[in-house]
Chains A and B, each alone.
Chain A
Amino acid sequence: MAASLTRISYSSAFTFSASKTSVFSPSLFASSIKVPTFSPLTVQPLCSTFAPHAAHAISFTTHATSTPASVLDTSTKTFHGLCYVVGDNIDTDQIIPAEYLTLVPSNPAEYEKLGSYALIGLPSSYATRFIEPNETKTKYSIVIGGANFGCGSSREHAPVALGAAGAKAVVAESYARIFFRNSVATGEVYPLESEARICEECKTGDVVTIELGESRLINHSTGKEYKLKSIGDAGPVIEAGGIFAYARKTGMIPSQSN
């Protein structure tokens, strides 16, 4: 424990926030972080923190990202696929009902099983289901929602279920705090915010593309384009596969030898 702690450098840490008032500037952030009780605090060279080439030696340990190995550079990242559209206040009980919380996300077999139940709690008014009967994965790689997506419980099973089902990103007007943070911490899905209320204008099954670098969502079925809010410093954390993977990749904590 102590050994691993001493090599954590906190001056380049990640921030999570969906708030409009967030502080994402790395320099501002660095000045506010001091961890006096961690000693000795050996600061690793940080020049490589945001360099695209820094991570080639790191192996992915999480299930979420199916990304190419050129990490830490989100500017060219795109997601393309079918979208699944839901409304406002989609709470975590609808994303993954409590009866499935006996599944432990850190257990690989149970991780897969969680995915097969993603969004199963949506009312029957959702005639088209996120995951079809007898399937374990979704054919919709992008979920589009309204305001306050992921409200309710702190269950990390929620972003995990979406990621395990095969979703890459959620695009919503706004998020509940814990869901947003859990999405970033696990790297399971990109919780992207739209500037407009696009859940009214997109239909389940529309073909969409998200261009992260351009902060843009294109609905090919309707021909419309929408501006997204920048994911900011949370982007590289999700791309790496969560906070631990990101911290290893950037040298904040040592790579695992085992």
Chain B
Amino acid sequence: MASSLASPSPTSSFIRNKKDLGFSAFPSTSQIAIQKCKKQVSKKIVSVMAPQQSERKPATTGSVKTGMTMTEKILAKASEKPQLSPGDNVWVNVDILMTHDVCGPGSIGIFKKEFGQNEKVWDREKIVIIPDHYIFTSDERANRNVDILRDFCTEQNIKYFYDIKDLSNFKANPDYKGVCHVALAQEGHCRPGEVLLGTDSHTCTAGAFGQFATGIGNTDAGFVLGTGKLLLKVPPTLRFVMDGEMPPYLLAKDLILQIIGEISVAGATYKAMEFVGTTVESLNMEERMTLCNMVVEAGGKNGVVPADGTTFKYLEGKTSLPYEPVYSDAQASYLSEYRFDISKLEPLVAKPHSPDNRALARECKDVKIDRVYIGSCTGGKTEDFLAAAKVFLASGKKVKVPTFLVPATQKVWLDLYTLPVPGSGGKTCSQIFEEAGCDTPASPSCGACLGGPKDTYARMNEPKVCVSTTNRNFPGRMGHKEGQIYLASPYTAAASALTGYVTDPREFLQ
């Protein structure tokens, strides 16, 4: 680990790190550029003996404006500034604040303590509260925390509260969604060009919509609840250019595991990660969400994908609010640029106990596993289950280890029971899963991705070996400290379920 942090030497031949293009002194670069521009303006005035005129601000003239990345542009817009550079600290207007049952009660506690018991939140329509972590449990404190959210939403008349009251049957709760990051997208709260903050590190998922999205703590969230603003430092951007046709055995999970393996779990600390290239353009929205979801596993502050036709189509009918996409300028400065030829990539896993402990799935074929888990904000979306179903369908075999399925949201759950799987002759995911011998899809929530209360469905209460489509494999992450988690794509997870070993999905997908 230490050595990989100190010298992230590219281990694969298909990456070209163009660090030379970056600017080592990024905070000062743009300031120098601005100074130059001013000088040029005044020189010109002298030479033609023009009457004194007020100095033009560089940002008011397109031709001399310093290029900005899309992250810089979003933050500039949100802080009402014409120009920002990495390292600038700015007060940012927040478009959406999201919180959930784990961090919501604490954030509310801070809001009430600091602003007053009877104060109102800054904007009842910009706060989205989504119980999702510890829902289907008899843990009294967990249940109480959802009650705290409900009381607060009632008191503050919060417009978007996705409540659950009947824990015995999630379907009896039409308002209940499930995993917050997926629900935010499905309910139309993710919009290009906006700033979305959430009390969850995977809030960065929403960067898939071409917006700035990052996770914050309770105290910062308490501040946002009261003011709608937060002091943020503008991150420098790492640019990841992924080109080439995506092979049919790869998913976005493989791409992000490749990147994290390349730059390490601290490689993007304090930085924005921008994903571009023909491969990224070919990804659907849910796959782009997977890509952005795990930037925090590289330490990233936010991940971002430029909005395009795929984005706009997804948003149709989901939001009636106007939005304004922004894009990186051609002359924007990046800290460094990484290029990948995705057509040469192979299915990957992250071995225990770190998301950057990258290996080829086929290199781990002798690792015997006890179970497979498909779920979470990373790997529990409709497309993830469609991918797993495709592998089961192609094999026609039964799983050899318990295979747990936890749809992220109620919508995903419904999709499993209604959407026909392509090439199956009209079968749904749920039918294919049943034929393969998987567990029945569980009630939508964060589930065992982060362990949770002892009675959480599929929690690792014993030291098992699990292949999981989730995001973290730290010690104890899914429950048991000595448990071993192999992070993988839904293809690889399904293939592994069929053999009982970590398995390259090409064994079934050809």
Instruction: List residues of A whose CB falls within 8 A of some B CB.
Output: 1, 4-5, 8, 10, 13-19, 21-23, 29, 32-37, 61, 88-89, 91, 93-94, 97-99, 101-107, 121-124, 146-148, 151-157, 174-178, 181-182, 185-186, 197, 242-244, 256, 258
A256 to B114, CA, bound (A): 8
Chain B residues 251-287 with CB under 8 Å of chain A are 265-266, 269-270
Question: Are B110 and A106 within 8 A (Cβ)?
Answer: yes
Taking each of A5, A16, A32, which has the highest tally of chain B beta carbons within 10 Å of its own beta carbon? Answer: A32
The answer, among A32, A34, A157, for a CB contact under 8 Å with B88, is: A32
Residues from chain B with Cβ under 8 Å of A147 in the complex: 1-2, 5, 266
Chain A residue numbers with a CB within 8 Å of B226 are 1, 4-5
Contact A178 B93, beta carbon cutoff 8 Å: no
| Shortest Cβ-Cβ A-B pairs, 4 listed | A106-B109, A156-B217, A154-B215, A182-B217
Q: Give the shortest distance, in Å, between B119 (CB) and chain A (any CB).
A: 5
Cβ contacts A to B, 29 pairs, < 8 Å: A1-B115, A4-B115, A5-B227, A8-B227, A13-B231, A15-B231, A23-B87, A34-B80, A36-B80, A88-B1, A89-B266, A93-B474, A99-B454, A101-B134, A102-B134, A104-B105, A123-B476, A123-B481, A152-B296, A153-B215, A154-B103, A154-B199, A154-B200, A154-B217, A156-B103, A175-B269, A176-B266, A243-B223, A244-B223
Interface with A: B59-67, B138-146, B167-175, B496-504, which one? Answer: B138-146
Judging by beta carbons under 8 Å apart, are B90 and A181 in contact?
A: no
Q: Which residue from B89, B450, B472 sits with its C-beta under 8 Å from A23?
A: B89
Identify the closest chain A residue to B118 (Cβ). A1
Q: Note all chain B residues with C-beta closer than 8 A to A175.
A: 269
In whole angstroms, how far apart are the Cα atoms of A258 and B269 in the complex? 40
Residues of B with C-beta under 8 A to A103: 141
Residues of chain A within 8 A (CB-CB) of B203 are 154
Chain A residue at smallest Cβ distance from B219: A185
Contact A102-B299, Cβ < 8 Å, known A35-B91, A244-B219:
no
Q: Which residues of B contact A8 (CB under 8 A)?
A: 227
Q: How far is the CA of A146 from the CA of B4 in the complex (A)?
A: 13
**Whole-angstrom CA separation of A175 from B269 in the bound complex:** 8
* CB nearest neighbor in A for B28: A21
Using an 8 Å CB-CB cutoff, how does the interface string of B288-302 with A read, 1 for contact, 0 for none? 000000001001010
Q: Determine the chain A residues whose CB is within 8 A of the CB of B231 once the complex forms.
A: 13-16
A91 x B472 contact (CB < 8 A): yes
Is there contact, CB below 8 Å, between A181 and B220?
yes
Chain B interface residue count, Cβ-Cβ cutoff 8 angstroms: 75
Q: Which residues of chain B are within 8 angstroms of A244 by Cβ–Cβ distance?
A: 110, 114, 219, 222-223
Interchain CA distance A147-B409 in the complex, whole Å: 36
Write the residues of chain B forming the contact surface with A, with a CB cutoff of 8 angstroms: 1-2, 5, 26-27, 80-81, 86-91, 93, 102-103, 105-106, 108-110, 113-116, 119-120, 122, 133-134, 139, 141-142, 144-145, 148, 199-201, 203, 215-220, 222-223, 226-227, 229, 231, 233, 236, 265-266, 269-270, 296, 299, 301, 354, 450-454, 472, 474-477, 479, 481-482
**Minimum Cβ distance to chain B for residue A229 (Å):** 15
Pick the residue among A35, A155, A177 that contacts B102 (CB under 8 A): A155
B109 engages A121 (CB within 8 Å): no
List chain A residues, Cβ under 8 A from B133. Answer: 101
Given the known interface contacts A5-B227, A23-B87, A148-B266, the answer about A102 and B481 at a Cβ–Cβ threshold of 8 Å is no
Contact A33 B217 (CB under 8 A): no
Known: A88-B2, A104-B105, A105-B218. A99 touches B91 (CB 8 A): no
CB distance from B452 to the nearest CB of A (A): 5
Instruction: Pick the residue among B81, B87, B109, B114 that contacts A21 (CB under 8 A).
Output: B87
In the complex, the answer to whether B87 meets A148 with C-beta atoms within 8 Å is no
Contact B219 A156 (CB under 8 A): yes
Inter-subunit contact A176/B451 (CB<8 Å): no
List chain A residues, Cβ under 8 A from B452: 98-99
**What is the chain B residue whose CB lies nearest that of A146?**
B2
Please indicate which of the listed interface residues A97, A121, A124, A146 has the most CB atoms of chain B within 10 Å of its own CB: A97
For the complex formed, measure the closest distance between the CB of A94 and the CB atoms of chain B, giving whole angstroms: 6
Known: A33-B91, A102-B139. 9 other contacts (CB 8 A): A88-B2, A93-B476, A98-B477, A101-B133, A123-B482, A153-B450, A155-B103, A156-B199, A177-B270
Given contacts A33-B89, A102-B141, A243-B223, contact A154 B201 (CB under 8 A): yes
Q: A123-B482, A151-B299 are in contact. Are A156 and B218 (CB under 8 A)?
A: yes
Min distance, Cβ A205 to any Cβ of chain B, angstroms: 23
- Contact of B451 with A1 in the complex, beta carbons under 8 Å: no
Most buried by A among B81, B88, B201, B203: B201
CA A104 to CA B231, docked complex, whole Å? 24
